[in-house]
Amino acid sequence: MSTSYTGRDIQVLQGLEPVRLRPAMYIGNTSSSGLHHCFTEILDNAVDEALNGHCNKIDVIIGADNSVTVSDNGRGIPVDMHPVSGKNALETILTTLHSGGKFSQKNYQVSGGLHGVGISVVNALAEELRVTSYRDGFSFTQSFSQGNPKTKLTKAPLNGHVRGTEVYFRPDPEIFKDITFKTSVILERCRAKAFLTRGLKISVVDQINNQKEVFHYKEGIRDFINVLTAGKNCLLPEPFFLDHENDMRLELVLQWTPDTDSIVHSYANSIHTTGGGSHENGLKSGLTRAIREFISRNNLLPKGIKGMTADDVKEGLVAILSVFIKGNLEFQGQTKERLNSEVGPVVETMVRTAFENFLFHNPTSAELVVNRVLLACQARQASRLAQKTVRRQSYTKRLSLPGKLADCTSTDVNLTELFIVEGDSAGGSGKQARNRYYQAVLPMRGKILNVEQATSEKMQANKEIQDLINCLGTGLGKSFDYGRLRYGKICICTDADVDGYHISTLLLTFFYRYMPELIIRGNVFLAQPPLFQITIGSGKKQQVHYAYADQERDRFLAQDKNAVIKRYKGLGEMNVDELKETTLAPGKRRLLQVRIEDTVQTDQVFETLMGKDVSKRFLFIQENAGFVREVDV
């Protein structure tokens, strides 16, 4: 082992080298969400042109070559020589971190760009990136690869008055684990941008599936809330809407439903702040103070209720908050998931003043909101009393784990794994194949309750769900405590057939509705057992392979047409060694981490597939039946 450590051992990375060496620092990760973050960076640049009044049309193309192209009719990227870099301005922006026109308010009053790194990061992670700027009667084009210029800037005359920017991006397979863009993710992000920017038209062409979608909303976020509340019983006759501008512009639309959960989408300069932040905190404080003042002045607080909280106000709330901040905009990290700018007090004042005025001038709507909040307050206090009773009774009792659980020895959450398997047969094999020190197995008998349609009483009476809750140890809903989680990995492991997929969906519905933090923190996985065992050759030359999809099976068959194929219909058909090697053993198994890439779409999918409204599922089947290649009957 070398003991010398000198200045020669210190690396100084140049240009875009840091991005390629540590891409997760700039885009979060190199999986699907990181890939789509690159698309969002390109899209945000075009939207910034629209936010500042220079663009009203954006075109997106999902190419058959695993590329995306974003075009706008804005001002076009400058191409004149930069006085410091000695390169043209377009090349400077694409190849230099912390370069761009958004550090001052001279050219962009409002912008989602902060550090001048977005498009240069995308360029560094591209196998090919081609930018064309249309301005001054000419088109200027330059191509790049892995952050380096591949061509010089070329100039060609234009016919007619054309202006704008076109960016073609094909991701680098050396960086990304999956280079396939998901049409659904791109559509949802484009739709959200169109909702947030009234009058902006965004068209998306999917060349792979030969589809086209156009998003154009004259009412902006008021159209957005109609989408979020479709099929729900809304309390207010019309959503509350606020559009106010002082030093900062704020748009807000509110509605309440009888649901116990809430939907709050917050944005800052059209950037979706999935982690909330100061503006969202200001919204909650403003609403709470407005409702509390209305209740106090009208003496509406019932006897026995000590006081209402922000959680009571939030229950059943559907809200979209969009703020447009001039000047210094601060997010937490380059992925911009949380707003840090000190705008909380400003948002609180705006919301409190406007909503308090709304309540006093709309007595019917005020009564509906107040009754909804007080109902949540009563339920919370009753629940707290019940929890105290349960805690007192449980002081002398040990943790009650279901008898069918084969628990592990370790208590280290960073190490432990729980495999939820389908039926006693798979449970028996799993218990033998597992590593008893850190792997636990919980067999589920049949299909669990569909919690999307069930009442809380039915959930409490359902043994399978209660067994799962007891195993995990966190509690659920408002009583959820992540610090009490007993397993760091929760692996849903079901058969590769219709029933198995249905059980997986039921379990995911339960986790998403009642323990969403487990998904957000990356604790939930789908095990990917093989579909086929393929034996090639015989005797000492015999080789056993496993295929996880039909395409893999076909590749093995191309090598040897006499190969023996065994189709696994369920985990119970595998012997212990096979199950251990393919599904349980780290390093050999395949686990698919469950992630939420778009909360709006995710919520709508669960409601469509698992909700009470049968007509939504019928329409979904009609619209998607043509994409089904095989039907398991």
Q: Which residue from 254, 255, 252 is spatially nearest to 279, judged by alpha carbons?
A: 252
Of 422, 467, 578, 598, which residue is the catalytic one?
422
Residue 40 and residue 61: Cα distance in Å, rounded?
13
Q: Is 577 a catalytic residue?
A: no
Query: Quick one: DSSP state of residue 53?
Result: T
Residue 425 phi/psi, 5-degree rounding, is: -65, -50
Q: Is 495 a catalytic residue?
A: yes
Burial of 380 (0-12, 13-18, 19+ CB in 10 A): middle
Tokens coding 627: 């994409």
Beta strands 439-444 and 489-493 are unpaired
Q: Is 422 a catalytic residue?
A: yes
Residue 325 and residue 258: Cα distance in Å, rounded?
33
Of 188, 280, 495, 598, which residue is the catalytic one?
495
Q: Assess contact for 492 and 526: CB atoms under 8 A.
A: yes
Tokens coding 549: 């999809």
Tokens coding 56: 């009203």
Of 174, 219, 424, 497, which residue is the catalytic one?
497
Q: Is 613 a catalytic residue?
A: no
Q: What share of the chain is helix, strand, coil (3-state, %, to 5)?
A: 40, 20, 40
Q: Assess contact for 440 and 408: CB atoms under 8 A.
A: yes
Which residue type is seen at 509?
Answer: T
Q: Which residue from 613, 605, 258 is spatially nearest to 453, judged by alpha carbons?
A: 613
> Residue 323: beta bridge partners?
250, 268
Of 213, 311, 499, 607, which residue is the catalytic one?
499
Residue 624 and residue 608: Cα distance in Å, rounded?
13
Report, as residue numbers or ranges, the catalytic residues. 422, 495, 497, 499
